[in-house]
A = this chain, B = another copy of it.
Amino acid sequence: MMTYIAPIRDMQFVINELADLSTINTYPIYEDATAELVTSILDEANKLASEVLAPLNYSGDIQGNTLKAGVITTATGFKEAYTQFVESGWNGLHSNPDFGGQGLPALVSTAVSEMWHAANMSFGLCPMLTQGAIEAIAHHGSDALKAVYLAKLIEGTWTGTMNLTEPQAGSDLSAVRAKAVPNGDHYLISGQKIFITWGEHDMADNIIHLTLARTPDAPEGVKGISLFVVPKFLVKADGSLGERNDVYCTSIEHKLGIHASPTAVMVFGDKAGAVGYLVGEENRGLEYMFTMMNHARLSVGLEGVAIAERAYQQALRYAKERTQGREMGVKGGERVAIIKHPDVRRMLMSMKSQIEAMRAVAYVTAAYMDKALAESDTTKQQAAMALVDLLTPIVKGWCTEASIEITSTGVQVHGGMGFIEETGAAQHFRDARITTIYEGTTGIQASDLVGRKIARENGATAKVLLAEMSGVATELANAVGDDCAAIHRAFTDSIHALTEATEWILANYAQNPKQPSAVAVPYLRLFGIVTGGWQMAKAALIAQAQLQKGQDPHFYEAKLITARFYAEHVLMQASGLAYSVMNGAVSTLALQEEQF
C-alpha cells in the first residue's frame, strides 16, 4: 500500500517546459545538464527513493530513534540506506566539483531532493541539513576549513547540522547565549542547543555542527553572534578522525511527526569545552547563518511539495481500490471505486492541482538560483537573484501551509481508514505539520516577504513579477478554448488582487509597519496562490499549444484541466485574501490583551 513512485513525467514537464532546462543548459558550468542526462538521473534517483527509502518510511515512524548514553541508534535500515545514498553519489549532486560535487543545476537537484523528501521525509532531512553546512562553509569558511570539511560533507560520509535554537532563542536569535572563548587556533564552545535535527546519529562517521555562539566581548543582540564549526570528532592533520569533541546529545524529543529523524538537545562544553572553529569573521554569524537558512527554507518548501505528493499518491491509490456505494445517476449499478464519486474527485483534483502549482514554483525558483550563479551579465544575474530572494519566503511559507491542507485531504479521502495509523495517511499529515514551523515559521516568512523583500525595495521585484504575470494573462486571452478562457478570467482577477494588496503594503509599511505585519500571512498566501496560478497559466498555454500539435493528448489535456481546476478552486481565493490584507489589519490589532 504505502509505496511511492516519483512523478517523473510531471517533473520533466516542469523542468523542461516551465523552468526551461534548455536555457540553463546553455551556461558553460551547466553544459552537461542535458534533458537526456537529467532523465537518467531522475530514473536512477527514483529507484533509490521508491525501492530503498520509501519502504523505511512507515517502519521508521513506528520505531523512531533510541538514545543511550549520548549515542543514538537510528531505525532499522536507515544506516544501510544512507550508506547506499552516499555510495551512489547522491549527496553532492549540486555541489562544487572542486570538492568532489557533481555541479549539476539546482533545478535538477531540487527534483531529486523532492524524491528523497517524498519517499522518506525523516531521511531527507539529514542530507538537507548537510547541504546547509556545505553552503555556509563554502561561502564563508576559510580555505583551511574548506580543505578539512567540504569534501567529506559533499561526499556525505560526514553530515552537517544547524545549531541555532536555544530554549530562550527561537524565532528571535538575538537571544542566543551559547559562549565561544578563544583558545589558540580555535574557540571553546559551551551552552545548550535544542531542536537540533539529526544532531546525533549513527549513519555517518562524523557530524559537523554549524553553531551560533557569542565571543566574550561580543556586543548584545544579533550583532554579537558568531558562527562556528564544531565537529563531533576532531579531525587530525591527515584528515583522519581524532578525539571525541565535547558536544553531546542529552535527550531527544517526542514529536508529532518525523519520528525517524532525531531531534536532539545538544550540550556543548559540559566537560572541557567543545572545540569550535570560527567561520568567517567574528560577529557576522547571523549573516552567514542566513546562507544556510535560505537554502534550508527553499528545501523545507520543497518538503511541502514532496509530502503533499506522497499523500496524493496514497489517496489516489486508495480511491481507485476502495469500493463503496454506486455511481451517481446509475440506477442499480455495481458498487464502484470511490474515485467515481464527485467529492472524492474534487479532493483528488484539489491535491493534484495544488501540488503541480507548488512544484512548478519551487523548481522555477531553483532555475532562478542557477541563473543567479551562472549568469555573467550582472544585470541579469541580479535580476535572477532578486527573484530568488522574493520567492524564497513564498516557496517556504505557501508550499508548507498548503501541505498541511493537502495531507489532511489525503486523510479525508480514506474516510475512517485515514484515522488508523497503519494506513499511513495520518503519518504524512503528522510529518507535514512541522514544515510551517522549522527554518522560520510562516509568520517569519511573511514578515521577511513584506518587510525585507517588498517594502525595503519599494516593491521593485514584485512589480517585475507582476508584469511577467500580466504578460502570461495576455497570452491566455488570445489562446483558444473554454479552458484557457476560464483560467484567464480567474488569473486576471487574481493579478489585480495581488497588485492592489501589494500597493496597500507599500503605502502603509513605512508609517505603520504593524498594520502590514498583521496581514502579512494572508498576503503571503495570496502571493503564493497567484504565483502558483502564474505557473499553472503557463502550463495551460504550453498544454494548449501541444494539443494543437497533436502531442500526447492524454497528458496535456490533464494539464489543461488541472490548471482550470486550480483557477476555479484555488486562485478564486485571491480577491478575498486581498480584501483581508487591505481591510483586516485594524480588527487584528484592536483588542487589548485582557480582552482575549
Residues of chain A touching chain B, judged by Cβ–Cβ distance below 8 Å, are 165, 168, 170-172, 174-175, 194-195, 253-257, 316, 320, 323-326, 328-329, 335, 339, 341-349, 352, 404, 408, 411-412, 415-416, 418-422, 426, 429-430, 433-434, 436-438, 441-443, 446-447, 483, 486, 490, 513-515, 517-522, 554, 557-558, 561-562, 564-565, 567-569, 572-577, 579-580, 583-584, 586-591, 593-596
A172 CB contacts on chain B under 8 angstroms: 324-326, 335
- Please pick, from B175, B347, B421, B589, the residue contacting A256 in the complex, using a CB distance under 8 A: B421
22 A-B pairs, CB-CB below 8 angstroms? A170-B324, A172-B324, A172-B335, A195-B416, A255-B420, A256-B421, A328-B514, A342-B518, A342-B520, A342-B589, A343-B446, A343-B447, A343-B517, A345-B589, A345-B591, A346-B521, A415-B437, A426-B433, A486-B587, A554-B594, A567-B587, A568-B580
Complex contacts, A415 vs chain B, CB 8 Å: 170-171, 437, 441
User: Other CB < 8 Å A-B pairs besides A404-B408, A569-B588, 11 of them?
Assistant: A256-B421, A341-B443, A416-B437, A419-B433, A557-B595, A561-B595, A562-B591, A567-B587, A569-B584, A572-B576, A574-B576
Measured in the bound complex, the distance between the Cα atoms of B570 and A573 in whole Å is 11
Of all chain B residues, the one with the shortest Cβ separation from A353 is B587
Number of copies: 2
Check B579–A565 contact: CB distance below 8 A.
no
B443 contacts A433, C-beta separation under 8 Å: no
Q: How far is the CB of A449 from chain B (nearest CB, A)?
A: 12
**Residue ID in chain B nearest A497 by CB atoms:** B576
> Would A587 and B568 count as touching, CB distance under 8 A?
yes
Chain B residues within 8 Å of A568, by CB: 579-580, 583-584, 587
Contacts of A483 in B (CB 8 A): 587
Collect the chain B residues with CB atoms within 8 Å of residue A434's CB. Answer: 419
Q: Could you say which residues of chain B place their CB within 8 Å of the CB of A344?
A: 443
- Contact residues in B for A590 (Cβ distance below 8 Å): 561, 564
Chain B residues positioned under 8 Å from A421 (CB to CB): 254-256
| C-alpha gap A558/B590 in the complex (Å) | 9
Which among B328, B557, B587 is the interface contact of A349 at CB below 8 angstroms? B587
CB-nearest residue of chain B relative to A326? B172
Take A195-B416, A408-B404, A421-B254 as given contacts and tell me if A565 and B593 are in contact as well, using a CB distance cutoff of 8 Å: no
Given contacts A255-B420, A596-B316, contact A514 B325 (CB under 8 A): no
Q: Contact: B573 with A569, CB < 8 Å?
A: no
